[in-house]
Structure 1
Amino acid sequence: MNILWDFDGTIIDSYPVFTRIFRETIGQEHSDEEILSHLKISFTHAREYYQLTDVQMKEIFDKEGNMHPTDTQPFADVEDVLRHANINVIMTHNKRDVVETCLKYYGLNKYIKEIVSRDDGYPKKPDPSSYQYLHDKYQIDLAIGDRDIDILPAKALGIRTCLFQNNTSGADYYISKYRDFFTIDDFQK
């Protein structure tokens, strides 16, 4: 099976630190739950919702740039799914060096064939251009993400989709923890 992955919130549990950074920037009067609900739609949505200034955006990006891999962790059992796949590729809005550093720190880089990041100039998800590139090159069987914008490009290309820790309608499969991946009949091959 060839899998296209989102990175943040799908392979790596980065939302707690992103939520903290957002709250530090926009003010303590906003709860973690509120901020997270907007970040889970998209970073762009959260930026627009909170009407962040360019100065605030720079502060957020500077803090994110100073994160160490220990500020986040891989989700439990994600390595088992990565190991099980024939090919794993990532499409992320994060910077390539941040993703590569984190993957290497946790020893997950050996499972990843290619990373397409915001550094590569593709339009942001849900535009399917980056997914089309990866699908043409690797014949993707499944796209896994934690948000609608992660599965919409795959759906547009006819690729099966799996939402992780998200029950929004529209995906072919849903899992809340990665050990559940192997209970789905289609993935036991």
Structure 2
Amino acid sequence: MNILWDFDGTLFDTYPAYTEVLYKILGEKIEKDSIYKELKVSFSHAIQFFGLTEQQIKEIKTMNKEIDVSAVKPFPGVEEILKKADTNVIMTHKSYAGVTHFLRHYGWEKYFAEIVTLENGFPRKPAVDSYHYLHTKYSIDLAIGDRELDLIPANKLGIQTCMFQNQCEIADFHLVDYADFFTVYPVTDKA
């Protein structure tokens, strides 16, 4: 099985740390739950929703780079799926350095054949370009994400989709916990 993964909110529980950053930038005037909810739509959406200035966006990007790697944990059960998959790839809007920083810390670089970021020149999700590239190269069987925009490109390409800790109509199945993955999506052991 070949899996295309989103990064933030799918492999790693990054949103609590991002919520804290945005909470500080907004002057602690907005409830953290509201910030989290808007970030789960997308970072671009949250920027517009909260009317952030260019200066605030710069501050957020700087503060996000300074998030301690120990403050962001992988979701429980992810590593077992990574081990059983034949090929894993990542498509994310996060920077390559940002992704590899966390992967190295947890010793997970070995699990990924390729990491595609905006630095590769593809348009942002939900454009299909990056997914088409990865699907052509790796014959992707499943795309896993935590937001609808992570699944739209896969859906358009006929790739099966899994929504993690969220709901959307286009997902082929939904997971709240990766412990249920092999029940919902049976995988045989590698030879």
Instruction: Assess same fold via TM > 0.5.
Output: yes
Write the distance in 1 (CA, Å) between the matches of 2:186 and 2:24. Answer: 41
Per the TM alignment, residue 6 of structure 1 is displaced from its structure 2 partner at its CA by 0.1
Write the distance in 2 (CA, Å) between the matches of 1:81 and 1:152. Answer: 22
Question: 1:20 is matched with which residue?
Answer: 20
Say which SS state the counterpart of residue 161 (structure 2) adopts: strand
Say which SS state the counterpart of residue 40 (structure 1) adopts: helix
Per the TM alignment, residue 27 of structure 1 is displaced from its structure 2 partner at its CA by 2.1
Give the number of equivalent residue pairs: 188
1:63-142 aligned within 5 A: 63-142=63-142
Write the distance in 2 (CA, Å) between the matches of 1:170 and 1:157. Answer: 12
Per the TM alignment, residue 119 of structure 1 is displaced from its structure 2 partner at its CA by 1.4
Question: 2:166 is matched with which residue?
Answer: 166
Gaps of 5+ in 2: none
Per the TM alignment, residue 101 of structure 1 is displaced from its structure 2 partner at its CA by 1.2
Gaps of 5+ in 1: none
- Deviations along 1:131-187, one digit per CA (max 9) or x if unpaired, are 000000000000000000100010011100000001222200111111110101x42
Per the TM alignment, residue 98 of structure 1 is displaced from its structure 2 partner at its CA by 1.0
- TM-score normalised per structure 2: 0.96
- Deviations along 1:60-90, one digit per CA (max 9) or x if unpaired, are 0000111221120000010001101000000
Write the distance in 2 (CA, Å) between the matches of 1:118 and 1:22. Answer: 22
Write the distance in 1 (CA, Å) between the matches of 2:121 and 2:41. Answer: 22
- Deviations along 1:109-137, one digit per CA (max 9) or x if unpaired, are 11111000121121100011000000000
- TM-score normalised per structure 1: 0.97
Say which SS state the counterpart of residue 151 (structure 2) adopts: helix
Say which SS state the counterpart of residue 113 (structure 2) adopts: strand
